[in-house]
Structure 1
Amino acid sequence: MATAAAAAVSVANGVCQAYLESKHVRETREGVAELCRHFYTQGWVSGTGGSITMKVHDDSIPKSQQLIVMSPSGVQKERMLPEDMYLLSSTGSILCAPSPKPYPHKPPKCTDCAPLFMKAYEMRNAGAVIHSHGVESCIVTMIQPSSKEFRITHMEMIKGIDGHGYHDELVVPIIENTAHEGELTESLSEAAECNHYLFDAAIKLYQLGLDWSTPSHDPIQRVFGHQRNTNMAVNAAVQNLNDAPEPSHRCIVLDIEGTATPISFVTDVLFPYARDNVGKHLYLTYDTEETQDDIKLLRAQVEEDLQKGVAGAVPIPTNDAGKDEMIASLVANVEAMINADRKITALKQLQGHIWRTGFQNNELEGVVFEDVLHALQKWHASGIKVYIYSSGSRESQRLIFGNSNYGDLRKYLCGYFDTTVGNKKETRSYFEISQSLGVDEPSDILFVTDVIQEAVAAKAAGLELIISVRPGNGPLPENHGFKTVRSFVEI
């Protein structure tokens, strides 16, 4: 009877019963059950608390249309079995429910968090969503009860969060709980990521009297007052913070080329270095996993370019071809991409790896305008968070600011965004950035760029805009309507 019911549901949702019983679905069910047991063992979930859901990975089906396996409610995580799982369509409809078990087991029930999970899948194009009940995530919000977000930086495990590294600042919005988890769906639009290690580290730093939200992890009394254990000192510190003038923007996002660095540095130094050294780099690192990943990305991009008839694209031979033939075709494509100033991830990632060698060998030095250091210091002292958004890879961004003509500037920067978040001329990219930064309103972010099309896209996402007018930049159209500056000192 249960099988017949499942078949009826699946046919109604356009999914055949055979696929519901396929290897892809079976392995995903097993994976979720195993994760539930593992999370219980680690102490990240307890008993029936928390939930894990995962998409059924199948290369033949677009990610947005893949089925979803979801752990049930009311089942001990350490006893979870593959057959206990719910199977949902990509839109959240239940295709297959677990069969009831005899008394004293409760009837099967899908988790109340299902709407939250579906919102996360929709917003983040995620492959899995994990909801834990770790006590650290609750305690860390109690350290500063009035705060609307959790911030931490310069901790090793930040690199486990996509798009973040050791020097970056992780911002996790704090959403007020309700009695019914399904009511939090709209609040989840704030989009938060969670890492138990970082929460636990913040708690331990707090216990040691250290500030987890600053790069140097200074004693908390430098930020909140001189006597940590008296209400008077805490109240005085809070009053001082309230009396201090607030900056007009909580975050500043900077472009690099033509904004923080001269265009000539990119066109006359970085691009030629990558073009002159691409063959040597590929030859010396050909068998490394990193370079093979670069080649895979380039191959996919070139195949797309060939289909669209992009000038300069030449076929890349199969892996059976000799190393010299393969590298020659790659070099030809990369040179054409550089000459056309293509803003594509495949090129930017490889360039970043080539430039890394140049910086390590002291053959390259990052060049920023004279006013950049002063502005970064001023913003940092004012509590304004500064981020970078460039078409260059995050690694190349770190290299430029970490090896600049004014020293290592990374201590003034909280994070980096590149084209993996989206094209810089598309509004969606700036929406994603505002979600990642955890601001209350997109207008809390000031974006500084020299490109009008980027400014228009960011403005459409609700960000504030300033156009950078630097020596060597191209002319701006008349009546563009944006404020302009010739130096960061003017901001």
Structure 2
Amino acid sequence: MAGVAAANGFPVLNLQAYLEGKTVLETRALVADLCRQFYTLGWVSGTGGSITIKVHDDSIPKPDQLIVMSPSGVQKERMISEDMYVLSSGGEVLSKPCPKSYPHKTPKCSDCAPLFMKIAHMEMIKGIFGHGYYDELVIPIIENTAYERELTKSLSEAISAYPKTTAVLVRNHGIYVWGDSWISAKTQAECYHYLFDAAIKLHQLGIDWTSPSHGFIKNESYQRVSKRKFEVYANAGLAFQASKPSRKCIVLDIEGTTTPISFVTEILFPYARDNVRKHLISTYDTIETKDDIELLRAQVLDDLEKGILGCTPIPPDDAGKEEVIESLVVNVEAMIKADRKITALKQLQGHIWRTGYDNNELQGVVFNDVPEALERWHDGGIKIYIYSSGSREAQRLIFRNTVHGDLRKYLCGFFDTTIGNKRDAKSYCEISQSVGVDKPSEILFITDVYQEAVAAKAAGLEAIISIRPGNAPLSENHEFKTITSFAEI
């Protein structure tokens, strides 16, 4: 960009050159390298979006220095400098990543504000008392000091300036939180210090907490407050841990849960439909295909008795290979069009897809948050299973060959419709008997289908509904917890 361009309200000559300059490029590479190291160390949950560093450039006034932010939806270990967003200090996006080829998603900018001072339009805000999706949460930031006792004055000023806040961030230190709505944060990762607790209590009582005459900064008082605080937070922590479900197994649906529905409907189904004739011709005399044909014969006979539309009789083998294959193709195409969840179809589709994967004509697709979650659960000692209407072989194929590598190493087993219909509670009773838990409630089942969640709950399992792009809408009165990413579990 030639001439003068306004950036952050400060005139900057040749903004494009600035964006492509050494300091910005080095900062982009630094953020990518940090994300990879965070992944190795097990730090930062989720994909690591919104990790932010200000570009240090002595030639630019500090208020106008740019910000480099890591994208949302890209695994930390896979981030590269080209994935980064560059923002003005006011939050305006000045440079964004180039689109990625299918099936990779283009990195998206985090919804977090660059300075993390004000937060709005985020669903999790509703977890803080008195705040809703459209409300703005303001969290003051104060500078750190050499000793915590020296934070008293700035804490007092921050709370006085923001009387409705329930947290204060301390640069290069951590976050102080209070209030019942932050109980889960209190019992997991935040700072529990006697000084802060005493300061809050005195502030609520209207006492000048900075005055030495109250003596709350004496060592003896430190000990009393610290002991009481330990008891309070220990009890709160035990209560929180007791309220958490005891999960030993997680059972996952595939379509609409680990994998986009579009991958199944727009890639897998058409591939099976277009290659069914070719597959049957080339494998007609194999034991595997003969078994597939017998299953289809039995299914078609049952369909004919029930008067299901689209099915036609399959002639006996002595009618000739061509005639048998022709009738099989007609029936299979009708089954695929009707999206039948039947073992005979799913088994044949799995065998057709196997050829596609082996010939590199197909590649498994999962949502970007899935690999990290599978690894995290696996490392935490949780057994992970798949339960899908697709055949077990088809399930394995999806996870065998993905852009994230072979994910089967995290999976303990696969269930398909041979164990029962996914909308039947008995199926989930069978699964609970098979995975070796003491009680069904130790199993979490995640699906995108409400009726499947109902059946799993009826069998005693914990059930969560997955909300993914392309999934069918849920009714407003459903009683299940919902998630949009496995990072929420």
Question: What is the TM-score normalised by the length of structure 2?
Answer: 0.50
SS in 2 for 1:355: helix
> Which residue of the partner structure matches residue 321 of structure 2?
323
* Partner-residue secondary structure (3-state), 1:334: helix
1:258 to 256, 259, 274: 256
- Hey, what does 2:121 align to over in structure 1? none
- List 4+ stretches of structure 1 deviating above 6 A: none
Spell out, residue by residue over 1:179-221, the C-alpha distance to the aligned partner (whole angstroms, 9 max, x if none).
xxxxxxxxxxxxxxxxxxxxxxxxxxxxxxxxxxxxxxxxxxx
Question: Which of the numbers 384, 387, 390 marks the counterpart of 1:392?
Answer: 390
Give 1:357 shift: 0.2
Structure 2 partner of 1:364: 362
Distance 1:423 1:465 in 2: 16
Between the aligned partners of 1:449 and 1:246, the Cα distance in structure 2 is 20
Give the counterpart letter for 2:459 in structure 1. Answer: A
Match of 1:303 in 2: 301
Residue aligning to 1:450? 448
List aligned pairs for 1:178-189, cutoff 5 A.
Answer: none
Provide the residue aligned with 1:121 in structure 2. Answer: none
Q: Please tell me whether residue 377 in structure 1 is matched to residue 375 in structure 2.
A: yes
- For residues 371 and 403 of structure 1, do their structure 2 counterparts lie closer, same or farther at Cα, with a shift above 3 Å needed? same
Partner Cα distance (1:301, 1:428) in 2: 22
1:229-254 Cα offsets, whole Å, 9 max, x none, are xxxxxxxxxxxxxx9x9973100000
Which residue of structure 2 aligns with residue 230 of structure 1? none
Counterpart amino acid of 2:354?
Answer: R
Distance 2:426 2:445 in 1: 14
Provide structure 1 residue ranges, at least 5 long, that are not aligned to the other structure.
1-242
User: Aligned residue for 1:480?
Assistant: 478
Residue 426 of structure 2 is aligned to residue 428 of structure 1: yes
State the TM-score, normalizing by the size of structure 1. 0.50
Q: Which runs of 5+ in 2 are unaligned?
A: 1-240
Contact 1:247 1:382 in 2 (8 A): no
CA distance in 2 between partners of 1:248 and 1:303 (Å):
46
The count of corresponding residues between Structure 1 and Structure 2 is 248
Distance 1:386 1:292 in 2: 33
Task: Provide the residue aligned with 2:468 in structure 1.
Answer: 470
Equivalence for 1:208 = none
- The 5 Å alignment of 1:67-78 reads none
1:18-54 alpha-carbon deviations (Å, 9 max, x no partner): xxxxxxxxxxxxxxxxxxxxxxxxxxxxxxxxxxxxx
1:350-384 Cα deviation digits (max 9, x unpaired): 00000000000000000000000110011011101
2:362 aligned partner, one-letter code: L
1:404 corresponds to which of 396, 402, 405: 402
Separation in 1, partners of 2:403, 2:250: 22
Equivalences for residues 28-177 of structure 1 within 5 A: none
CA distance in structure 2 between the partners assigned to 1:304 and 1:393 by the alignment: 20
Whole-angstrom distance in 2 between the partners of 1:376 and 1:273 = 28
SS in 2 for 1:391: coil
Given that residues 245 and 442 in structure 2 are in contact (C-alpha distance below 8 angstroms), is that contact kept between their aligned partners in structure 1?
Answer: no
SS, match of residue 446 in structure 1: strand
Larger RCO, structure (CA 8 Å, separation 6 or more): 1
Query: SS in structure 1 opposite 2:372?
Result: helix
How high is the sequence identity, in percent, across the aligned residues?
Answer: 74
* 1:438 shift after superposition: 1.3
Q: Which amino acid aligns with 1:480?
A: H
